[in-house]
Structure 1
Amino acid sequence: MTFNLSRRSVLKVAAASVATLAAPSVLRAKSFASKPVTIIVGNAAGGANDTLARLLQPVLEAELGKPVLVENRPGAAGNLGLSLAMQAAPDGHTLFCSSSVMLATAHTHINSPGSPLEGLEHITMIGDGNFTYTAPTATGAKNYEEFRALVKGKPGEIRHGTPGAGGNIHLSAELLKLREKLDMPAIHYKAAGDLITDLLSNQIQLAINAIQLTEPHIRSGKLVPLFTAGKEREKRVEGVPTSVELGIKDMERITNWFALHAPKGTPESILAELHAASVKSIKSQPAVEKMTAGGWTPVGDSREAFTARLKSDDAIFGEVARETGIRIG
């Protein structure tokens, strides 16, 4: 078979080849995104959810080919944002950046919009971190064993603080009290800053925080780190035992994670694309560096692994809520 190509035809073919090479997006499958993608955050700007959602923006925009907007919708202990995400169209254009607070309040808040485990599609965990239990130096306790003895010796007199009734930190403290049989009333705060102020002045004697909030006060000697609720020791402060080392059952199951979700019913093909783009953004060098500096470990796990983790967390939050009878109106 003989092909007779004119000079003009050859030039057309060559020009088309050059154009294709110059535009790699042509080679990539077209994204589902037909308009800007919104990530709903159930907290005010500047919080951890907001910070991590914005870390994902640059790579997500590059991968999806559309602007990615972060929309802060604080209110009702995060349930307002969750409700909006659960009611959004399942087309991939609305996402939800959560924390483990979401699962806790589903069991403790009467106004919860429903189970996020069942009401959302789960994409991936963004970052994870352990909670550190600290006491003011003024208590005189130099370690967890001494602090536990102090609480048992003064039942009902030693108090712990939380940044919100019925949230993940509140239930983490309640889990400690259940497992260790401690009588220790809770004092609830609206702002973490007020909680830290009262902790440093010994108005409360125990607080549970991300390490980035308490590290400066630990290093200055104003706070005593009792333990880290996890399997691995906190790298930012040396010598602090883990709850597993101390034999406190189940404490490592409540951690300081943040994650990405989509409305229920979002098609599998869209979820797969969102997962790939999200993991790429989580693993990007800028995101890894900023998360690590902030005290989080970047995750980017599979949808299956993340869903399994959610089920485990939901079970422990449900157990604590049932055994304590905590219900927030």
Structure 2
Amino acid sequence: MTPLNRRHFALALAFSGAAGLATSPAQAQAYPSKPIKIVVGFAAGGLTDILARTIAPVMSDKLGQPVIIDNKPGANGNISTAFVAGSEPDGHTLLFSSSAQIVYSPNTYKKLPADPINGLRHLSLIGEGDFIFVASTGTGVHSLAEFVTLAKSKPGALNYATSGPGGSLHVVQEIFLQHAGIQMVPVHYKGSSAALTDLVANQVQLFCDGLPSLEPYIKTDKLKPLFVTAKKRLPALPNVPTAAEVKLADLSNISNWFGLHAPKGTSDATVAKIQGALAAAMASESVKEKMRGLAIEPVFSTPAEFVARIDASNKLIGAAARAANIQID
């Protein structure tokens, strides 16, 4: 997927203008006719929420209507997905997603209230972050190779933490275990904070998450970073190898991405206006600076590019979830 650039910005603006010419003046002025609600499936203050609130003011300025963030947390984001999928396809209710609810949930939950892949109109990627694998310093390891050796010497005796069963951090770590050829026991928490507390205490030995939550522990030597799923080393962690460098190249294709969606059936003209506003937000230097400060690389894509990315991620996550037999009732 290509990062935000001038070509995509120009395409979005051109698409917006062309769509406006193809509709009558009344139709062109019809959207937006009231405040726009961006639904977030996670609690206020979390990364998904912060990113949504970062783009909302610029989109509001561009669209001429308030853009309001509506948090509907629960069930790994599935509640918010169902709410937006069942909303009127008029562009006034949108979904700001994390990859967890779009490509992980369909492969880990036996039943969902809505189909996140086929029940939404996918508009654009917003940004991508990397997963950092860390070990408890209580393990005494100094590298991934040492951790794998330790785990292989004690098959099934070590634990890894997740922020909830069936979520991205659960599946991503199962992918790692499969590729590394080791066996560990998952311990599910209700969020990253509780997992980190037990990780520092060596009650669990492995975890992965994004940079914002892990960096304070890494910098104070409370956790040992093993590798990052990034394609190149992170500036904040220049001494931590990438997945490819530790011979786990397949994990380089995994990222924690975020996107914007509308209910299925939303018109092309409405999508064009949303894309134009989103392009303006993603071109904003203040937005890009804020996102990069959260270790999220800004990305703007066409709907077709976003759909292709979702399809590729779905295949990868589906295969991993089946291999690990992850099924949530």
Q: Output the TM-score relative to the length of structure 1.
A: 0.89
* TM superposition shift of 1:249: 4.2
* Residue in structure 1 matched with residue 273 of structure 2 by the alignment: 273
Q: Deviations over 1:82-109 (max 9, x none)?
A: 0001111111111000001111011111
4+ runs of 1 displaced by more than 6 Å?
none
* Residue in structure 1 matched with residue 241 of structure 2 by the alignment: 241
**Counterparts of 2:117 and 2:110, CA distance in 1:** 17
**Counterparts of 1:245 and 1:120, CA distance in 2:** 37
**Counterparts of 2:172 and 2:281, CA distance in 1:** 30
- Report the secondary structure of 2:52's partner residue: helix
Residues 223-234 of structure 1: pairs in structure 2 closer than 5 A: 223-234=223-234
Whether the aligned pair in 1 keeps the contact of 2:129 and 2:210 (CA below 8 Å) is yes
* Residue in structure 1 matched with residue 81 of structure 2 by the alignment: 82
Unaligned 5+ runs, structure 2: 1-27
* TM superposition shift of 1:79: 0.8
* Corresponding letter in the other structure for 2:159: R
Structure 1 window deviating more from structure 2 (92-101 vs 102-111): it is: 102-111
**Counterparts of 2:163 and 2:319, CA distance in 1:** 21
Structure 1 window deviating more from structure 2 (57-66 vs 248-257): it is: 248-257
Root mean square deviation, CA, Å: 1.5
* Residue in structure 1 matched with residue 100 of structure 2 by the alignment: 101
Structure 1 window deviating more from structure 2 (95-104 vs 246-255): it is: 246-255
* Residue in structure 2 matched with residue 176 of structure 1 by the alignment: 176
Identity %: 39
Q: Deviations over 1:186-222 (max 9, x none)?
A: 0000021111111111111001010111112111112
**Counterparts of 1:245 and 1:265, CA distance in 2:** 44
Whether the aligned pair in 2 keeps the contact of 1:42 and 1:80 (CA below 8 Å) is yes
Residues 116-155 of structure 1: pairs in structure 2 closer than 5 A: 116-155=116-155
Higher relative contact order (CA 8 A, sep 6+): 2
**Counterparts of 1:293 and 1:249, CA distance in 2:** 26
Residues 277-316 of structure 1: pairs in structure 2 closer than 5 A: 277-316=277-316
**Counterparts of 2:65 and 2:51, CA distance in 1:** 19
* TM superposition shift of 1:246: 1.6
Whether the aligned pair in 1 keeps the contact of 2:162 and 2:186 (CA below 8 Å) is yes
* Residue in structure 2 matched with residue 61 of structure 1 by the alignment: 60
The count of corresponding residues between Structure 1 and Structure 2 is 302
Correspondence 1:47 to 2:14: no
Q: Deviations over 1:2-34 (max 9, x none)?
A: xxxxxxxxxxxxxxxxxxxxxxxxxxx746201
- Report the secondary structure of 1:218's partner residue: helix
Whether the aligned pair in 2 keeps the contact of 1:124 and 1:279 (CA below 8 Å) is no
**Counterparts of 1:212 and 1:45, CA distance in 2:** 16
* Residue in structure 2 matched with residue 36 of structure 1 by the alignment: 35
Q: Deviations over 1:161-210 (max 9, x none)?
A: 00010011110011111122211110000021111111111111001010
* TM superposition shift of 1:115: 3.1
Whether the aligned pair in 1 keeps the contact of 2:81 and 2:114 (CA below 8 Å) is no
Q: Output the TM-score relative to the length of structure 2.
A: 0.89
* Residue in structure 1 matched with residue 7 of structure 2 by the alignment: none
Correspondence 1:217 to 2:231: no
* TM superposition shift of 1:110: 2.4
Q: Deviations over 1:245-304 (max 9, x none)?
A: 222142123211111100111111211221121121122122111111111111112222
